[in-house]
Amino acid sequence: MTESRCETMRERLPDFVGGRLDGADAAEVREHLDACPECAAEAALVRLLHTARPEAPTDLARRIDAAARSARRRVYHPWWGVAAASVAAVALGIGVISDDRPAAEVAGEVEVPGIVVGAGETSLWVADDGLVAGAPALEGLSDEALLVLLQEMGTETTGGAA
């Protein structure tokens, strides 16, 4: 048995053991193994390794598949995220400026934890830049509180801005 012949056969052992050789090639390897104890011993080792190869947990492919589909939808529908952020921003603004009446007192209101949205609300002031602001937030302030607020904003209370 020549060394180069054994080398060629040994390279093919993983394919032979794994059933990846066609009939003629498999027969050639089998014939060699019958005549070469050294290569047969190596084939036995390769067979042991192959038969004991680990398998992924049964649900791994399903979990990966679900994660891949989810990730793909996020990539292909980015407007979902934008829309959700917009809704949250508007809702947050509404919560900030809404009045402090108990929710139950306002007919037609939708309650969300931390946020009160008045379905019939007419006193909201939506600025051109999309921010929610308005006079309602200042309505309940006393003259003193209003003065402090204006001073904090750096606005002169008399004489107006230059």
Q: Decide whether 32 or 117 has the Cβ nearer to other proteins.
A: 32
Q: Decide whether 51 or 122 has the Cβ nearer to other proteins.
A: 51
Interacting residues with other proteins (CB under 8 A): 10-11, 14-15, 17-20, 41-42, 45-46, 48-57, 60-61, 63-65, 67-69, 71-72, 75-76
User: Closest distance between other proteins and the C-beta of residue 77, in Å?
Assistant: 12
Task: Please state, in angstroms and rounded to a whole number, the distance separating the CA atoms of residues 46 and 29.
Answer: 14
Q: Where are the beta strands (DSSP E) in 95-137?
A: 109-112, 115-118, 125-126, 132-133
Q: Which own/partner pairs from 74-81 qualify as long-range (CB within 8 Å, at least 24 positions apart)?
A: none
User: Closest distance between other proteins and the C-beta of residue 46, in Å?
Assistant: 6
User: Closest distance between other proteins and the C-beta of residue 15, in Å?
Assistant: 6
Q: Decide whether 30 or 69 has the Cβ nearer to other proteins.
A: 69
User: Closest distance between other proteins and the C-beta of residue 64, in Å?
Assistant: 5
Using N-to-C axis directions, what is the helix angle for 3-17 and 37-51, rounded to 10°? Answer: 20
Q: Decide whether 7 or 111 has the Cβ nearer to other proteins.
A: 7
Task: Please state, in angstroms and rounded to a whole number, the distance separating the CA atoms of residues 125 and 86.
Answer: 17
At 125 the three-state DSSP class reads: strand
Which amino acid, 160? Answer: G
